Structure 1
Amino acid sequence: MAEDAFTEHRPLLFTIAYEMLGSATDAEDVLQESYLRWRGVDPAEVEHPRAYLVRIVTRQSLNHLRAAKARREEYVGSWLPEPIRTGPGVGDDAILAESVSMAMMLVLETLNPTERAVFVLHDVFGYTHGEVAASIGKTEVTVRQIAHRARRHVHARRRRFEPDSDAGREIVQRFLFAASTGEVQALMDLLAPDVVQISDGGGKVVAARHPIVGSADVARFVLGVIRTTTEATQVEYATYNGMPAARFVTDGELDWLVAFEIHDGRIAGLYGMRNPDKLHRAETVLPLDRGGNSPWKP
Structure 2
Amino acid sequence: MSHFFADDGAKIHVKISGEGSPIVMLHGWTSSHQEWFPFLGQLTAKHRIYRWDARGHGGHPLGKHAAPSAKRMARDLQNLLDHYELDKVTAVGHSMGALTLWQYIRDFGTSRLERLCFIDQSPKLISDESWQHGIYGSFDGNKATEMMGWLKEDFAEGVLKLTAFGLNERAREKYLAGASGWEKSRQALRAQDPVPLIECWASLTAADYRDVLSGIDVPSLLVYGQESNFYRAETAQYVARQIPNAILHIYEGTDHSPHQWQRERFARELMEFINCPV
Give TM class, smaller chain: under 0.3
User: Which entry has the higher C-alpha Rg, 1 or 2?
Assistant: 1
TM norm structure 1: 0.25
Higher helix residue share: 1
Structure with larger RCO (C-alpha < 8 A, sep 6+): 1
TM norm structure 2: 0.26
